[in-house]
């Protein structure tokens, strides 16, 4: 039995219906992500890497809670009918979201005006950041303070190529000297680019 057969069998047991097909999504950088065609719908399955500590980009359940909350608030995100922290699909927790029609950014950029794409992105970001925290799926989590965020960025800068970080220390000093007053937390997209 190959990996996809194992995932298919485990997923069928988890959701109680036959999976017609499962196919790894070849493009993108979303880790273990699959197109799934079930009896009732077409889905996208997300799994954390095998053996990964469930945190950051491997915390697919947290991502699922956020996407589902945003979907319920009317933002352009898929419905996420299954979020499971139980390690039942190939020994891993998982989320199963509805597959939505869309176009990759590369094709969109060829067919639409850049200004319209940017304007739409800004409108969605404004709606995202205006959402009350209790409607984000993570409202009960402790907010990350500016100091903690700056420490995280300092660690990332140490690991980044030097040609990208030549003035990072100077910037960190300027930020530390001019820290703004803490405000009410808001949800922001932590990896915002047109591909996402």
Q: Residue 55 maps to which CATH number? A: 3.30.200.20
Total of domains in the chain: 2
Pull the structure tokens for residue 154.
């300092």
Residues 94 and 148 in one domain: no
For residue 20, pLDDT beyond 60: yes
Residues 161 and 75 in one domain: no
pLDDT of 28 reads 63
Residue 2: pLDDT band by 50, 70, 90 thresholds? low
SS3 101: coil
Do the domain assignments include residue 30?
Answer: yes
Q: What is the pLDDT of residues 98-127, one digit of tens each?
A: 999 888 888 888 888 989 999 998 999 999
Do the domain assignments include residue 136?
Answer: no
All residues at 6 or more sequence positions from 42 whose CB lies less than 8 Å from its CB, including other chains: 35, 36, 98, 99
SS3 42: strand
Domain around 152: 144-177
DSSP for 162-177, written as a single string: HHHHTTHHHHHHHHHH
Q: What does the CA dihedral 137, 138, 140, 145 come to, rounded to 10 degrees?
A: -160
Do the domain assignments include residue 27?
Answer: yes
Residues 90 and 155 in one domain: no
Do the domain assignments include residue 126?
Answer: no
- Taking the alpha carbons of 135, 119, 80, 50 in that order, is the dihedral positive or negative? negative
pTM: 0.83
């Amino acid at each position: 039995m190959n990996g996809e057969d194992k995932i298919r069998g485990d997923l069928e047991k988890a959701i109680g219906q036959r999976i017609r097909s499962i196919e790894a999504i070849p493009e993108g950088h979303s880790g273990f992500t699959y197109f799934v065609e079930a009896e009732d719908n077409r889905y996208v399955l997300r799994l954390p890497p095998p053996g990964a500590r469930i945190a950051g980009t491997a915390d697919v359940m947290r991502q699922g809670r956020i996407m589902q909350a945003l979907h319920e608030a009317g933002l352009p995100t898929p419905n996420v009918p299954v979020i499971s922290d139980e390690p039942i699909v190939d020994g891993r927790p998982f989320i199963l979201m509805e597959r939505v029609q869309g176009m990759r950014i590369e094709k969109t950029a060829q067919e639409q005006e850049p200004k319209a794409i940017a304007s739409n992105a800004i409108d969605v970001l404004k709606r995202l950041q205006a959402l009350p925290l209790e409607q984000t799926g993570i409202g009960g989590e402790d907010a990350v303070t500016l100091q903690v965020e700056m420490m995280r960025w300092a660690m990332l800068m140490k690991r980044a190529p030097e040609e990208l970080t030549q003035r990072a220390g100077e910037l960190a000093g300027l930020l530390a000297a001019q820290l703004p007053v803490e405000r009410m937390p808001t949800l922001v997209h932590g990896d915002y680019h047109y591909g996402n």
